[in-house]
């Protein structure tokens, strides 16, 4: 069995069990600086973005469409650790997600290209699994610095068969919608399996 850092939530092995306390791991992927930690902090309800908590997993229970779901958001993609360790963490991230959020910055075209690469990598590693993936164009508030048009993001999501949303962590715009959307995507797959 894989042993992870001590504060990674226990009880996370039961993602396919039924019951009210379903727990889903949501992994954030994307280049450095695109806003992953900012989005994770908003999810965790940490209001002051300037005080980014150096935590790397956040657990919260949301009520979506009248039903509770607990998400464990993993902001572990980037670590300050040695390269060897980072590779291990990245492989682990690719394996354990019940859903993935691939983030790029609309102000940084190279982060958009990285997002495509991550999508391809994920498809290769998790070929057999029909996991929800959301492509996120963050920093939508920085209109003057935009390098990636919203249509490009949308088109990319169509090609890669995933959902798409633009967010602004700074303005808290569409962040709630993003995490609710993930819950809905997970449920769609769960429900189609049951019938």
> CB of 97: closest distance to ligand GDP in angstroms?
16
Pick one of 37, 138, 167, 174: the residue that binds Mg ion (CB under 5 A): 37
Q: Using an 8 Å Cβ cutoff, are 147 and 109 in contact?
A: yes
Q: Which residue is nearest to Mg ion (CB)?
A: 37
> CB of 169: closest distance to ligand GDP in angstroms?
4
Contact footprint for ligand GDP (CB under 6 A): 30, 32-38, 49, 138-139, 141-142, 168-170
> CB of 160: closest distance to ligand GDP in angstroms?
20
**Of residues 32 and 124, the one with the C-beta less far from Mg ion:** 32
142 touches which of ligand GDP, Mg ion, none (CB within 5 to 8 A by kind)?
A: ligand GDP
33 touches which of Mg ion, ligand GDP, none (CB within 5 to 8 A by kind)?
A: ligand GDP
**Of residues 69 and 75, the one with the C-beta less far from ligand GDP:** 75
Q: 3-state secondary structure string, the chain?
A: CCCCCCCCCCCHHHCCCCCCCCEEEEEEEECCCCCHHHHHHHHCCCCCHHHCCCCCEEEEEEEECCEEEEEEEECCCCCCCCHHHHHHHHHHHHHHCCEEEEEEECCCHHHHHHHHHHHHHHHHHCCCCCCCEEEEEECCCCHHHCCCCHHHHHHHHHHCCCEEEECECCCCECHHHHHHHHHHHHHHHHHHHHC
**Of residues 36 and 139, the one with the C-beta less far from Mg ion:** 36
**Of residues 30 and 132, the one with the C-beta less far from ligand GDP:** 30
């Amino acid at each position: 069995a894989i042993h992870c850092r001590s504060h990674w939530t226990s009880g996370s092995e039961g993602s396919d069990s039924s019951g009210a306390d379903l727990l889903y791991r949501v992994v954030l992927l994307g280049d450095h600086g695109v806003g992953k930690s900012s989005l994770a902090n908003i999810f965790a309800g940490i209001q002051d973005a300037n005080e980014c908590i150096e935590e790397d997993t956040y657990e919260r229970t949301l009520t979506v469409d009248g039903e509770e779901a607990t998400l464990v958001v993993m902001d572990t993609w980037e670590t300050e650790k040695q390269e060897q360790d980072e590779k291990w963490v990245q492989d682990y991230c690719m394996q354990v997600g019940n859903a993935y959020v691939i983030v790029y910055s609309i102000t940084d075209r190279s982060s958009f290209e990285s997002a495509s690469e991550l999508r391809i990598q994920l498809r290769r590693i998790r070929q057999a699994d029909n996991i929800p993936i959301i492509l996120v164009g963050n920093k939508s508030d920085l209109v003057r610095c935009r390098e990636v048009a919203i249509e490009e993001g949308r088109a990319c999501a169509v090609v890669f068969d995933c959902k798409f949303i633009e967010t602004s962590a700074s303005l808290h715009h569409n962040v709630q919608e993003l995490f609710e959307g993930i819950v809905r995507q997970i449920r769609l797959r769960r429900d189609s399996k049951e019938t």
